Amino acid sequence: MNERTPIPNINIGQVYDQRYSDAEVHYDKLGNLAGFFGRNMPVHRHDRYFQVHYVKSGT
């Protein structure tokens, strides 16, 4: 039988930037997030949050 590992939940206000711990909206540059979490972020979720990545330009 296969062991299933749950998908980790990341609370962005507790893990990344506590300025946003009670905020309804958080935004930042993807480069800043990648600098903190790494460029190859593993599968994760945000409990009770909806995440949108908006990329205006780049390659």
Based on the structure, what is the number of domains in the chain?
1
* Alpha carbons 44 and 46: distance in angstroms, whole number: 7
pLDDT of residue 1: 61
- Kindly give, in sequence order, each residue whose CB lies less than 8 Å from that of residue 9, ignoring residues fewer than 6 positions away: 44, 45, 46, 47
What pTM does this model have? 0.64
pLDDT of residue 48: 80
- What range does the domain containing 11 cover? 1-59
Quick: pLDDT tens for 13-39: 788 888 877 878 888 888 898 899 999
* Alpha carbons 57 and 59: distance in angstroms, whole number: 7
pLDDT category of residue 9 using cuts at 50, 70 and 90? very high
Tokens of 35: 């600098």
